[in-house]
Amino acid sequence: MMFSKSFGYALRGILYVADAGNGGDKIRVEDISRDTGIPKHFLGKIMNKLVKANMLGSTKGPSGGFYTNNQTLDIPLIQIFHLFDGTQLFDSCVLHLKKCDGENICPLHYKVEETRKNIQFVLSDTTINDLLQEEKPDLLRKVSAG
């Protein structure tokens, strides 16, 4: 797997909130967890991290939950990726050598460099709104566990 579970869960959580809360409704973590199959406590930590990064909003209390804010739809996926996975995928050696740069290159460096650039481009060039605008007969079903 190229991306971490945290990144995948964060993206699924944001998409769920953006789609299900389309009318400005607040979505409870219990509902997201139930419908996506993401463990509730793990999801709660992820969603709170997204709120702290101002990628989602939240309200506490009985009528509280998560909701999209003014920035949510314009967030490029690379920002979510960096929040959860950092930059190691793009900066570190695939063979985990201490030094892999222009002068001391590992045997796989050039073979994976183009792939890395392509992944970085896709994540940088794709926003949450782009994913919501894709043809989506049933987006919630797609981000769910089933």
Q: What is the pLDDT of residues 83-110, one digit of tens each?
A: 998 887 777 777 777 777 667 788 888 8
- Whether the pLDDT of residue 143 is over 70: the answer is no
CA distances from 123 to 5, 28, 78, 81, 106 (A): 16, 27, 5, 8, 25
Residue with tokens 């964060």: 10
Q: What is the pLDDT of residues 36-59, one digit of tens each?
A: 999 999 999 999 999 999 999 999
Cα distance between residue 97 and residue 117, in whole Å: 20
pLDDT tier for residue 3 given thresholds of 50, 70 and 90: confident
Q: Is 13 exposed, middle or buried (0-12, 13-18, 19+ CB in 10 A)?
A: buried
Residue with tokens 């990726």: 81
> Could you tell me the domains of the chain?
5-135 (1.10.10.10)
**Cα diameter, the chain:** 59
pTM, to two decimals: 0.85
